[in-house]
């Protein structure tokens, strides 16, 4: 059964990288957002990953039957919000300007988010390659029967 649990591990990696990509895209979309439900400008978000034991209902039944080696997947354990002070820009005509004419903008560096996004995308690809390799191995085991 160990080959099938590798698929779950890689799938957890894909899910984690996908959530990271979602947040990075959100950051870039909100690079100029000065209003949020919590008040103040938008703040940059990023994820913290944590390793996690992968189980499925099917495998838990099987594990009681078979000694299973540990399978370490990954999960998003936390979303951290950037606590740096917002960037002040002098725009007296802006509706969100303070009494001195400064507007608080999110402290977002597009280069930082783009680099992280490329990293995320490559890691996603690595997980897909792992799934493809494992899938081929399973297919070969099935071919033994024909």
Residues interacting with other proteins, by CB under 8 A? Answer: 2-3, 5-7, 9-10, 12-13, 16-17, 20, 48-51, 67, 69-74, 119, 123, 126-127, 129-130, 133-134, 136-137, 140-141, 143-144
Complex with other proteins: residue 14 or 108, whichever CB lies closer: 14
Say how far apart CA 17 and CA 74 lie, in whole Å.
Answer: 10
Task: Quote the least distance from Cβ 68 to other proteins, whole Å.
Answer: 10
Task: Quote the least distance from Cβ 142 to other proteins, whole Å.
Answer: 10
Task: Quote the least distance from Cβ 35 to other proteins, whole Å.
Answer: 32
Q: Give yes or no for a contact between 56 and 64, defined as CB atoms under 8 angstroms apart.
A: no
Complex with other proteins: residue 39 or 139, whichever CB lies closer: 139
Complex with other proteins: residue 14 or 103, whichever CB lies closer: 14
Complex with other proteins: residue 76 or 103, whichever CB lies closer: 76
Locate tokens 């059964």: which residue? 1
Say how far apart CA 74 and CA 49 lie, in whole Å.
Answer: 7
Task: Quote the least distance from Cβ 6 to other proteins, whole Å.
Answer: 4
Listed in order, strand segments (DSSP E) in the chain are: 45-53, 72-81, 87-90, 102-105
Q: Give yes or no for a contact between 47 and 78, defined as CB atoms under 8 angstroms apart.
A: yes
Angle of helix 2-29 relative to helix 110-143, nearest 10 degrees? 160
β-strand partners of 73: 52
């Amino acid at each position: 059964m160990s080959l099938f649990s590798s698929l779950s591990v890689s799938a957890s990696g894909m899910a984690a990288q996908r959530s990271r990509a979602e947040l990075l895209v959100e950051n870039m979309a909100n690079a100029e957002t000065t209003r949020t439900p919590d008040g103040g400008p938008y703040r940059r978000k990023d994820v913290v990953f944590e390793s996690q034991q992968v189980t499925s209902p099917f495998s838990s039944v099987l594990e009681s039957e078979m000694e299973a080696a540990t399978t370490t997947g990954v999960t998003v354990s936390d979303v951290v919000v950037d606590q740096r002070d917002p960037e002040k820009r002098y725009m007296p005509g802006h509706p969100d300007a303070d009494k001195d004419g400064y507007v608080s903008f999110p402290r977002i560096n597009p280069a930082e988010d783009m680099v992280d996004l490329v990293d995320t995308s490559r890691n996603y690809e690595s997980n897909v390659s792992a799934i493809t390799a494992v899938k081929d191995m399973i297919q070969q085991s099935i071919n033994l029967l024909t």
